[in-house]
Amino acid sequence: MANLTGKKILLGVTGSIAAYKSALLIRLLVKLGADVQVVMTSAAKDFITPLTLATLSKRPVLSEFINQSSGGQGDGQWNNHVELALWADLLVIAPVSAHTLAKLAHGFCDDLLSAVYLSAKCPVFLAPAMDLDMYRHPTTLENLRRLQSFGNRLIQAEHGELASGLVGEGRLAEPEHIVTELERHFAHRPIFRHKQVLITAGPTQEAIDPVRFISNHSSGKMGYAIARAFARAGADVTLISGPTVQPLPDPTIRRLSVRSAQEMFEAARDEFPKAHIIILAAAVADYTPLRPAEQKIKKKETVFDLELTRTVDIAATLGQQKRPDQITVGFALETNDELANARNKLRAKNFDFIVLNSLRDQGAGFGHDTNKITVIDKEERMYTFDLKSKDKVAEDLLNLVQEQVSML
């Protein structure tokens, strides 16, 4: 995610067998555009070399208050812990051992990392790693509680096999999970706090018989990207998803899985009254078989007639129930007369915004990781965006909705 681009991150590494994961964490952060400065404790060097971390971070690793040069004593360079703390947008200590937790909780300051911690004015994230019994010990639990009471953020240890051979809590959070927490921090927008956001995504499947169904090419990627953007901005997101292989985009999201247009309508109808923001990104079938067969239809005739009936128009039905304090966003995927069709849909379904994309635009539409959209608001102002990743498109929509929320 681009919200780590240019962010200055101090990474503290302490004496834990899980220190090897710090190399993977650095690699992910640098790949996402962050500027990483590593500060190691002396004990951490027993588990991973400073050279490894310096190579990955592209910065010399700091460990001592004074770096002695090859010229001998007295001509070293002072590593100013105050300047380091002021430089950082965020300090994350991963892994943080039980020993370092105890030091930080009680203000002991006997090395560069603890001095940086005590000088930090930026947010501090702590990702503990230790054996199961150590993690559950009342002393450790009290130290964690104490550190959180100071305003530090805890990235919970995970359940899994530990170095001792035990299985349980104490395992350092996976680097990808740590990155997600940092992304969520930088993406957070106070205006979305306690906002209930309802999003539909993916296709629907309309049963012909127990084996076959009618569907479309929607992958759900766009709706899932939007759900991730709003969740990381701090909203409470409910995602109503048709059948898709997309993974849950954020662990805080509540996903309701449905299959048919009717099921999606019933779920949306039930959730709609609680929502402040409603984004209907699903590709819902307009027609469904009138009488689905109870048994598999056998191949007999050359021509097979299938009688269809209209499904409930979810957007139009919810549009009629829309309150002044709700914001609704719809999607229009078109192949011709794009603007005219989108404007008609905007008015007919009482949307605040309609998101238009055309199958005639290369790289847009179903299945792609990119999209090219034009957004029209209820005053029929147009906002045109270039082709970009669906995560970036989701950020553009987030920004437009935020402007609307600020006016309510």
The bridge status of strand 327-334 relative to strand 236-241 is unpaired
Residue carrying the six token digits 């500060």: 39
Residue carrying the six token digits 């170095």: 163
> Active-site residue among 67, 152, 216, 344?
216
Counting every residue, how long is the chain?
Answer: 408
Contact 286, 215 (CB under 8 A): no
Q: Taking each helix axis from N to C terminus, what angle separates 98-106 and 138-149, rounded to the nearest 10 degrees?
A: 50
- Please name the amino acid found at residue 340: A
Distances (CA, A) of 34 to 20, 81, 148, 213, 322: 20, 20, 25, 46, 42
Q: Which two tokens stand for residue 175?
A: 């680097």
Q: Tabulate helix, strand, coil % of the chain (nearest 5).
A: 35, 25, 40
| 138 burial level (CB within 10 Å; 0-12, 13-18, 19+) | exposed
209 labelled ligand-binding: no
Active site residue 216: yes
3-state secondary structure 258-309: CCCHHHHHHHHHHHHHHCCEEEECCECCCEEECCCCCCCCCCCCCCCCCCEE
Q: Which two tokens stand for residue 130?
A: 């230790």
286 labelled ligand-binding: yes
Q: Which two tokens stand for residue 182?
A: 């940092």
In 3D, which of 325, 377, 327 has the Cα closest to residue 353?
Answer: 377
Does 138 sit behind a cis peptide bond, omega within 30 degrees of 0 on the bond before it? no
Dihedral (CA of 388, 389, 395, 400) sign: positive
313 labelled ligand-binding: no
345 labelled ligand-binding: yes
Catalytic residues: 216
State the binding site: 286, 296, 331, 345, 349
Q: Which residues are annotated as a binding site for CTP?
A: 286, 296, 331, 345, 349
